[in-house]
Amino acid sequence: MASITTWTRLEPRSRRDSLERGLQAAVHDPLWLLARQWQLGEFNGEDAGSPVVARLQIESASVTKVAIGPEGRSRDFHGEAAPLDVVVEAEAVRGSDGGTLRERVEAGLDLLRRLQARRVSRAVRSAIAAAAPLRPPTGEELAALDTGTLRFLRIMAGRVPDGGALARQVRRATPAGSTHPRLPSEWRVPRANRASVREVVEEWLRALESLMQEGRPRGSAWIPERLEYDFRLAARAAEGEVVLRAREFDGGGLDWHAFDVEPGASLGANVTRQPHVDMSVPAPATFRGMPASRWWEFEDSQVDLGSIAAEPEDLPRLLLIEFAVAYGNDWFIVPVDLECGSIGRVGWLIVADTFGIRTSIPHYAETRRDATWSMWANAGARQGADVPRWLFLPPVAARTMDSAPLEDVSFVRDEIANVAWAIERVVESASGRPLDRARDLQERAELRRDPARDGPPPASGVLSYKLASHPPANWIPFLPERTEPPAIRLRRGALAVDSGAPAEGPRSRLLGDANAGTTWLFEEEVPRAGVRVVRRLRYTRWTDGSTHLWVAKRKTVGRGEGSSGLRFDHVVLAPK
């Protein structure tokens, strides 16, 4: 009996609607790997070769001139001696009296230590120390000084010499033009010790002066009316002199984009052109989140360009995404060694590919007749001017250590009182430490309180008339003022003083400095967001191994508007 045999055919189906399996990029046999490459177009031939060698001609010119301030005179710039930050930002801080108490004490003790190390006798040292003792504070000073400084003075006064005064005595005794210091007669150094003491003093003065970098007291780059730095640099490139101006530099990190070109300007820069030709291997330019061009390659998950949301009208975003995704892998970099503080102008760039075909790559400006702007070039001040064709490498400190703010002043608008305020939050105390101004005012007010004079506080629930309210003494008003031609500027004022309290002007150097203090402001410099200006010490090393310490200002965005509660002619209800 025959039986029935049926046949079943198995049909494998490898296609699916879901992309999940496909995106897993699984790996199978070698033929399958090749098949996948073929599918992804990795075997398609193109009429192109990979670049293998690039020859680059570049001409560099050093920055040789600097002009500090908007009208500053041109002077020589030595990029190898100090970073540009120091040249631009450094303030004159120590003045003729030798700086803060702490600096003077340190200097005094330093001299004694040096003398002791040279085996100068105790008697001679005592005589020198006695020539300029640090005196205890007078009654007036006692009222004005903060507690930290008083504590410092209580220990130091009478015990240590005032190094600033000692240095001043030496300078006074030294005839003008002499490089070697003379010992002042009031030191009463015995004849036998004079030579060694003079040597020590010379070393000491040198160390004292080189401790900090100081700018000139007048003509600094800081514009007090704008709370910004302004300076210019110049170098002589192939197309003539190039003057770069940093107009609205806020302090802090300087980089090439802080500079604009000043066409037609001249600071008389010297010729330092150095053309040279480099040969190197071009490397593909990469950026974070760059799509990998191959299927089996891991991408950086930190940046996901695919998740950038862009509306159809967000052209810049769409352009960015398209560039990154579609054309990002067509860019190459050739390394260029440039001296810090120079501008480099690329003469020509020739690239040879794997087939030996040479291509000359033109500058961006040459590819388009109408090119007037480029993202990666210093902006030209003149409309329609050519795109600058060089690379500027500013000689700036790469890494600095900054101290806590010595001064912290906020500029805020107070629309209700129709004034702007400069609020001194932190100022430098007489002993050179950051001093919280509000706390200091409170401490001193408590010390000054005298119930006998001030009378008892008003009984609760009683109405009393006040001519004006009293914002804290560290709030300094800037009053609007009309100028000719019509504009508004903010001029520093002062508030009527509370009875009994001594008048307090600005305590910060930022406002109160005789040469560079802010006495008026352009109205637009205090925007609604406010402005915060901080002075701090900065420390860095430079290419010659030298160490630089200087005081710099920095402007940042503030924290919005403020209200002082300033009112006139009002009635107050005493609190319960």
- Residues 455-474 binding another protein (CB under 8 A) are none
Q: How far is the CB of 116 from another protein (least distance, A)?
A: 7
DSSP state for residue 300 in the 8-state scheme: -
Residues between 78 and 97 with contacts to another protein, criterion CB under 8 A: 80
Nearer to another protein, 150 or 537 (CB): 537
Chosen residue from 105, 145, 227, 267 binding another protein by CB under 8 A? 105
In this chain, which stretch among 311-319, 342-350, 471-479, 560-568 interacts with another protein, using CB under 8 A? Answer: 342-350
Residues between 526 and 565 with contacts to another protein, criterion CB under 8 A: 537-539, 541-547, 549
Chosen residue from 274, 359, 464, 556 binding another protein by CB under 8 A? 359
DSSP for 119-169 reads T--HHHHHHHHHHSBPPPPPHHHHHHS-HHHHHHHHHHTTTSB-HHHHHHH
Nearer to another protein, 159 or 466 (CB): 159
SS3 of residue 208 by DSSP: helix
Chosen residue from 314, 337, 415, 498 binding another protein by CB under 8 A? 337
In this chain, which stretch among 53-61, 170-178, 262-270, 379-387 interacts with another protein, using CB under 8 A? Answer: 53-61
- Type of residue found at 525: E
Chosen residue from 66, 111, 145, 160 binding another protein by CB under 8 A? 160
Tell me if 18 contacts another protein by CB under 8 A.
no
Q: How far apart are CA 380 and CA 186, in angstroms?
A: 61
The first and second tokens of residue 531, run together, are 């402005």
- Type of residue found at 447: L
Q: How far is the CB of 286 from another protein (least distance, A)?
A: 11
**If we measure between CA atoms, which residue out of 103, 165, 101, 107 comes closest to residue 137?**
101
Tell me if 351 contacts another protein by CB under 8 A.
yes
In this chain, which stretch among 28-36, 413-421, 451-459, 480-488 interacts with another protein, using CB under 8 A? Answer: 28-36
Tell me if 32 contacts another protein by CB under 8 A.
yes
Helix H segments across 247-325?
Answer: 315-322
Tell me if 333 contacts another protein by CB under 8 A.
yes
Tell me if 156 contacts another protein by CB under 8 A.
yes
Residues between 118 and 137 with contacts to another protein, criterion CB under 8 A: none
Tell me if 56 contacts another protein by CB under 8 A.
yes
167 in Cβ contact with 98 (< 8 Å): yes
SS3 of residue 415 by DSSP: coil
Count, residues near another protein per rule CB under 8 A: 99
Q: Which helix (H) or strand (E) holds 512?
A: helix 509-512
Chosen residue from 143, 155, 488, 573 binding another protein by CB under 8 A? 155
Q: How far is the CB of 360 from another protein (least distance, A)?
A: 11
Residues between 288 and 327 with contacts to another protein, criterion CB under 8 A: 293-294, 296
Nearer to another protein, 332 or 522 (CB): 332
Q: How far apart are CA 422 and CA 517, in angstroms?
A: 12
Q: How far apart are CA 60 and CA 277, in angstroms?
A: 11
How remote is the C-alpha of 462 from its chain's centroid? Answer: 53
In this chain, which stretch among 340-348, 414-422, 460-468, 510-518 interacts with another protein, using CB under 8 A? Answer: 340-348
Tell me if 101 contacts another protein by CB under 8 A.
no
The first and second tokens of residue 418, run together, are 């129709």
Q: How far is the CB of 66 from another protein (least distance, A)?
A: 18
The first and second tokens of residue 543, run together, are 């290419």
Q: How far is the CB of 278 from another protein (least distance, A)?
A: 10
Chosen residue from 21, 22, 25, 48 binding another protein by CB under 8 A? 48
DSSP state for residue 271 in the 8-state scheme: B
DSSP for 413-465 reads EETTTTEEEEEEEEEE-TTSSEEEHHHHHHHHHHHH--HHHH-PPPPTT-EEE
Tell me if 286 contacts another protein by CB under 8 A.
no
Residues between 231 and 270 with contacts to another protein, criterion CB under 8 A: none
Residues between 394 and 413 with contacts to another protein, criterion CB under 8 A: 397-399, 401-404
Nearer to another protein, 216 or 276 (CB): 276
Residue reference for tokens 């008026």 = 520
Q: How far apart are CA 164 and CA 391, in angstroms?
A: 46
Task: Show the beta-strand stretches assigned E in 26-108.
Answer: 51-68, 74-76
Tell me if 520 contacts another protein by CB under 8 A.
no
Q: Which helix (H) or strand (E) holds 503?
A: none
Q: How far apart are CA 9 and CA 325, in angstroms?
A: 45
Q: How far apart are CA 367 and CA 372, in angstroms?
A: 12
Chosen residue from 67, 221, 254, 393 binding another protein by CB under 8 A? 393
